[in-house]
Amino acid sequence: MQIVFGIDFGTTNSALSVYRNGSVEVVAVDSNDGSKELMRSVLYFNEDNEIYTGNEAIRHYVGEGAAGRFMQSIKTFLPNTTFEHTEVFGKRYAIDDLVAIILRKLKARGEAFVGCAVESVILGRPVVFSTDAAKDAVAQQRLERAARKAGFKNIWFQYEPVAAALAFEESLQPGQERIAFIGDFGGGTSDFSVIRVKGGAFERSDRRSDVLSMGGVYVAGDKFDSQIMWDKVARYFGRYARYKTMGKDEWVNVPKSIIYTLCQWHRIPLLRARKTTEHIRVIKSTTDDRKAIDHLENIISDNYGFFLFQAIEKAKCELSDMERALINFTERDLFISEEIDKDGFEAINGENFKQISDCIDEVIARSGILPAQMDTVFLTGGTSRIPYIQDLFFKRFGRDKLENRDAFTSVVHGLGSSVPLFV
């Protein structure tokens, strides 16, 4: 009996499905309070170089006062060709080594579930890792290398929105045919496809001819968090602080590059570079907002960005169900209490929503299908819960066509359903 795993290695969450005997199951991969079917795509290295993943990583990071190294959004680095490797407590890790740690853990959980070794996997990949074709290829090669390091021998790739489409397909009656727009809004990327779906299509066939168009943008949940940081929170860390450069009597602003890095919390440790810490020391000696620069130094040295962004993300998620939310955060002598309302959130993210909206139009146009001819719109991924995102589809297709379900597991389920297409 052949068993194949489907793995959705996501920017925020990862999941695993098992294909055997012609059926697909999504497996519990973490002891998550909310959903056991998801493992946070995070790593924690303690000072003894013990490595933890998922909730265990978060628990250790919190418990050990951030003495070790915490990493998240690792998927984001896959197409980054300037990122070769990182050093953690004297040991070198290439990007595929880091990804392999997560894949190995998922593999082990899956193997414990089925009770035997499994060497075949279908991995999901976004429609675009990068708009630069060379970088896009590098990203997939790195993911493949990671899967090999994790112990997989037979490796296939499926586009994430196609996988979501296959999951949707299973809800159709045999023979029922639909043209569907699939939108997968995750943490790192928003991926789209227009695809012909058929009920009872669990057969070997080349589905590529059913894909009418595909596309994606690098704008999703993480970007919305960053935008809230930039507009609502960065002022606590010196966004508007000024200082005087050596020997001159004019005020200059804290470099945008520092604040910008602060807005992508997983990059905050990069600010520990000597040149930057020295620059910040100079700023501190003349600044008109000493308190903010103290906070800036603290967030870099104490690495509490993770918790700050959790507070931001929490407020963002609340805005999917409520008109207003509070960003609440306390650390040492830093007290943040910022209200954000739904309209404000939509306004500050105008540019992000526009990029998503333009990409949706492009994918529709390239499919050759008129909005009126589209039978179904299937939305998945955590970020699809944002009302404004749903509005983008109401406006184009009307309310009745919208299906929104299994936000976090339809991709991984569809990867399992992809097995007969490859194996």
Ligand X SMILES: Nc1ncnc2c1ncn2[C@@H]1O[C@H](COP(=O)(O)OP(=O)(O)OP(=O)(O)O)[C@@H](O)[C@H]1O
Binding site for ligand X (CB under 6 A): 10-13, 75, 186-189, 220-222, 313, 316-317, 320, 381-383, 385-386, 408
Which of ligand X, Mg ion, none does residue 289 bind to, with CB < 5 to 8 Å depending on kind? none
Question: Smaller CB distance to ligand X: residue 243 or 307?
Answer: 307
CA contacts within 13 A on the Cβ side of 308: 30
Question: Smaller CB distance to Mg ion: residue 186 or 305?
Answer: 186
Structure tokens at 419: 């097995």
CB 384 within 8 A of CB 188: no
Which of ligand X, Mg ion, none does residue 317 bind to, with CB < 5 to 8 Å depending on kind? ligand X
Sign of CA dihedral 366, 367, 368, 371: negative
- From candidates 3, 4, 5, 10, binder to Mg ion by CB under 5 A: 10
Nearest approach, Cβ of residue 97 and ligand X (Å): 19
d(CA 53, CA 299): 23
Which of Mg ion, ligand X, none does residue 13 bind to, with CB < 5 to 8 Å depending on kind? ligand X
Query: Which 3 state secondary structure label does DSSP give 106?
Result: helix
Which of Mg ion, ligand X, none does residue 188 bind to, with CB < 5 to 8 Å depending on kind? ligand X
Kindly state the DSSP code that residue 17 receives in the 8-state scheme.
E
Question: Smaller CB distance to ligand X: residue 55 or 189?
Answer: 189
Nearest approach, Cβ of residue 321 and ligand X (Å): 7
Q: Name residue 123's amino acid.
A: L
**Phi, psi dihedral angles at 326 (to 5 degrees):** -115, 130
d(CA 66, CA 377): 43
Give the bridge partners for 190, in sequence order.
Answer: 185, 217
d(CA 303, CA 327): 19
Which of Mg ion, ligand X, none does residue 94 bind to, with CB < 5 to 8 Å depending on kind? none
Nearest approach, Cβ of residue 100 and ligand X (Å): 17
Residue nearest to ligand X (CB): 221
Which of Mg ion, ligand X, none does residue 313 bind to, with CB < 5 to 8 Å depending on kind? ligand X
Which of ligand X, Mg ion, none does residue 158 bind to, with CB < 5 to 8 Å depending on kind? none
d(CA 52, CA 39): 12
Give the chain's radius of gyration (CA, Å).
Answer: 23
d(CA 66, CA 302): 7
Which of ligand X, Mg ion, none does residue 264 bind to, with CB < 5 to 8 Å depending on kind? none
Which stretch in 5-13, 14-22, 220-228, 361-369 sits in contact with Mg ion by CB under 5 A? 5-13
Does residue 414 touch Mg ion according to CB under 5 A?
no
Query: What is the distance between the terminal CA atoms of the chain, rounded to a whole angstrom?
Result: 13
- From candidates 54, 183, 186, 414, binder to Mg ion by CB under 5 A: 186
Give the bridge partners for 286, in sequence order.
Answer: none
Which of ligand X, Mg ion, none does residue 320 bind to, with CB < 5 to 8 Å depending on kind? ligand X
Question: Smaller CB distance to ligand X: residue 179 or 348?
Answer: 348
Q: Name residue 374's amino acid.
A: M
Nearest approach, Cβ of residue 142 and ligand X (Å): 15
Question: Smaller CB distance to Mg ion: residue 46 or 417?
Answer: 417
Question: Smaller CB distance to Mg ion: residue 338 or 406?
Answer: 406
Distant-in-sequence, close-in-space partners of 126: CB < 8 Å, separation ≥ 6: 159, 160, 188, 189, 191, 216
Question: Smaller CB distance to Mg ion: residue 186 or 216?
Answer: 186
DSSP per residue over 139-207, as a string? Answer: HHHHHHHHHHHTT-SEEEEEEHHHHHHHHHHTTSPTT-EEEEEEEEE-SS-EEEEEEEEETT--S---G
Structure tokens at 223: 């970007």
Nearest approach, Cβ of residue 317 and ligand X (Å): 4
Question: Smaller CB distance to Mg ion: residue 123 or 327?
Answer: 123
Site for Mg ion in 222-281 (CB under 5 A): none
Which of ligand X, Mg ion, none does residue 316 bind to, with CB < 5 to 8 Å depending on kind? ligand X
Question: Smaller CB distance to ligand X: residue 37 or 297?
Answer: 37
CA contacts within 13 A on the Cβ side of 117: 6
Nearest approach, Cβ of residue 84 and ligand X (Å): 22
Question: Smaller CB distance to ligand X: residue 222 or 297?
Answer: 222
Which stretch in 7-15, 266-274, 284-292, 402-410 sits in contact with Mg ion by CB under 5 A? 7-15
DSSP per residue over 212-252, as a string? Answer: EEEEEES-SHHHHHHHHIIIIIGGGGTTT-EEE-TT--SEE
Contacting positions for Mg ion (CB under 5 A): 10, 186
